Structures are given as C-alpha cells and as structure tokens.
Amino acid sequence: MSSLLSVSDIKDDVKYILDLASKIKAGEMEEKPLEGKTLAMIFQKSSTRTRVSFDVGMYQLGGRAIFLSSNDLQMGRGEPISDTAKVLSRFVDGIMIRAIKHSDVEELAKHADVPVINGLTDLEHPCQALADMLTIKEHLGDWEGKKICFVGDGNNVSNSLLLIAPLLGMDMSLACPKGYEPNEDILKTAQEYADDNNTEITITDDIGLALQNVDAVFTDVWVSMGDEAEAKQREIDFAPFQVNSDLMSLANDGAIFMHCLPAIRGQEVTAEVIDGPQSVIYDEAENRMHAQKAVLYYYMKD
C-alpha cells in the first residue's frame, strides 16, 4: 500500500501533486471526489493547522475526517501499533498521523491496508513542504532557478525542504549553528537529488554565505515540541540566527519570508519581519489545506 511518509515517497510525482493542488484551489477539479471516504486522524501532538486543514479539506472533497487523540485510542494504553493499523484499515479509507516518532509512522504504514499520511514526525514534515512549494510558485512565479534558505534548526521542516527543493530545480542553503545540522541520511539523499537535478545544497553556520542570492527565507521555532529540556541552551545557540530586517536585507530584493507556524515573535523572528510586507505566512498556512487536498486525492481517489 502506497503511503506518504517522506518527500522521497513522491519524488517522481511532486510536480503533479502541486499542479493538482493549484487546480483544486482554483476550483478546476471535480466536486466531492472523495464522497463516502473517511480519513482517520491520529494526533500524538497538539495541532492547529494540521488538524483543521485536514478536517476541512476532507469535508470539501466530500468525505469526512475522524479526530483521534492518543487518549482516544488503545495505542495510548499499550496496544501494538500493528493491531491499530490493521483494525483501522477495516473501518477507514486513509490514516493521517501527527506523531512523536517517525518510526511509529513507519510501523503504522507497514501494517495498514490503507494509505498513511505523515502529518508531522520528528524526522519530516512533507505536507508542510508541499504547502511551502505551492506558496513559492504563487509568489515567485516558478521554482526553477530559485534559491531558498532555511535559517535555524536542522529539524523536520528543514529536512523535508532539503528533499523537495532539488526535485523542483531549486538551490537550497541551510544556516544553522554547529551541532544542529540536518539528519545525515536525509542530507545524503537530498544531495543525490541535487546532483541529479543540477542544483546546489549548502549547509553552513555562515549566515552571510547562506543568504546569497536567496529568493525565500524560512525559519521555525528554536524549541520544537519534545525539545523543551534544551530550551535555555537553544536560545543561546540560535540567538545569532534570528530572522530580522538586517538578515532579510542579505537576501535578494523581493525575497519572501516563510514560517510554518506557530511562531514566537521576538525569538526566531522579529515582529517587523513576520508582520511585514515580505511575509507570506498566512498564504502559506492556507496552502496547507490545498496541498493536502491534493495529497488526499492522490492517495484516496479510486
């Protein structure tokens, strides 16, 4: 059964899915293509955008979504993930899971007989990456020849961006403190994609180098869910990597600012930037729903 656990799972169909998202957003697709379909949504972590966008997206596609927190499932009382996967597969047509550990999502997909969609793990956030790419095309016209830069932690968001950027013909740089580099396996795969598509990937702690010729600047919170014990040290280590007006001035004229949200103004980004004219964060948030509707159509349409 085909599932979306990583950007790599759709490496040959990324452009198709994004084109589908654009058509769905423009109202150019059939109405209610998932009528009669049900999506189970499992949440091990709290959520605003993921929960609402998948729920509303399924409704708009003609189907329905069922919200299941860890407390609602026997998984929370020790039932094996494999049993949950097999049982849910008898009831629903797809499963979206926002999980703490990526290995849990892999285990769920291994035993499910319906598509499993990664709504976020500690390793990747593929749905966010798709929404980001849809937003870039809307604001910058195309992907080919553009360069994006992620400033901050080599986390799940930056991991998925590293994979998707070269697949769309974009260069990418990641400016992060030493010790906060992205996952080594992800980086290796991303470099292979870059080599295949004649694009460049740069990982550096030199902010000036990372921001050269950049068309879109990304950041994320310094302390993700699960990293709270490291909060004080992270605030120290990431302080020089705050996205402010001086940092944005290093990017190209007309560069846009992006953030997956939630954001902490005054920490990873200043209010001047996130609420300023270069920011496209609310378009980016809205596009979570349109990109995910395309994913749901791609995986759940008969």
Is residue 119 domain-shared with residue 209, that is, in the same domain?
A: no
Same domain, 158 and 245: yes
Q: SS3 breakdown of the chain: % helix, strand, coil, rounded to 5?
A: 45, 15, 35
Number of compact structural domains in the chain = 2
Examine the domain organization and report whether 275 and 146 are in the same domain: yes
Q: How much is the pLDDT for 75? A: 72
Residue 99 φ then ψ, to 5°: -120, 160
Using alpha carbons, select from 98, 113, 1 the residue that is nearest to residue 54.
98
Catalytic residue, from 44, 111, 128, 171: name it.
Answer: 128
Provide the annotated binding site. 47-50, 74, 98, 125-128, 156, 220, 224-225, 260-261, 288
Predicted local distance difference test score (pLDDT) of residue 76: 60
Annotated binding site for L-ornithine: 156, 220, 224-225
Same domain, 86 and 134: no
Residue whose C-alpha is closest to residue 161's, from 187, 196, 198: 187
Tell me, yes or no, if 288 is annotated catalytic: yes
State residue 223's pLDDT score: 87
Residue at 19 is within a domain: yes
Is 206 marked active-site? Answer: no
For residues 272 and 147, membership in a common domain is answered with: yes
Domain assignment of residue 82, yes or no: yes
Same domain membership, residue 132 and residue 121: no
**Nearest-angstrom CA–CA distance, 166 and 148:** 10
Q: Among 51, 98, 234, 259, which one carries the catalytic annotation?
A: 98
Neighbours of 144 (CB within 10 A): 10
**Are 133 and 277 members of one domain?**
yes
Residue 149 is among the residues annotated as catalytic for this protein: no
In a shared domain, residues 200 and 93: no
Q: Which are the contacts of 261, defined by CB distance < 8 A and separation ≥ 6?
A: 48, 49, 281, 284, 285
- Identify the domain containing residue 171 by its residue range: 128-282
Catalytic residue check, 260: yes
Residue 220 among the catalytic residues: yes
Could you tell me which residues are beta bridge partners of residue 258?
A: 218
Based on the fold, state whether residues 75 and 165 are members of the same structural domain.
Answer: no
pLDDT for 99 equals 95
Supply the pLDDT for residue 227.
73
Q: How many CB atoms lie within 10 A of CB 34?
A: 23
Active site residue 265: no
Looking at 111, 288, 290, 292, which residue is catalytic? 288
Instruction: Let me know if residue 206 belongs to a domain.
Output: yes
SS3 229: helix
Residues 30-56: pLDDT tens digits? 999 999 999 999 999 989 999 999 999
Q: By CB neighbour count within 10 A (0-12 exposed, 13-18 middle, 19+ buried), where does 277 fall? A: exposed
> Which contiguous run of DSSP H or E holds residue 42?
strand 38-43
Within a domain: residue 78? yes
Amino acid code (one letter) for 132:
D
Active-site entry in 44, 122, 171, 260: 260
In total, the chain counts a number of residues equal to 302
Specify the CATH number for the domain of residue 77: 3.40.50.1370
Q: Which residues are annotated as a binding site for carbamoyl phosphate?
A: 47-50, 74, 98, 125-128, 260-261, 288
84 is a domain residue: yes
Q: Evaluate whether residue 2 is within a structural domain.
A: no
Are 47 and 89 in the same domain?
yes
Same domain, 269 and 148: yes
Mean pLDDT in each 10-residue stretch from start to end of the chain (302 residues)? 95 98 96 97 94 98 95 78 96 97 97 98 98 98 97 97 98 97 98 98 98 98 82 95 98 98 97 98 98 98 91
Q: Which residue among the candidates 220, 234, 242, 278 is catalytic per the annotation?
A: 220
Q: Check residue 182 and give its pLDDT.
A: 97
One domain for residues 100 and 179: no
- Residue at 1 is within a domain: no
Extract the tokens encoding 233: 């040290």
Catalytic residue among 102, 125, 234, 259: 125
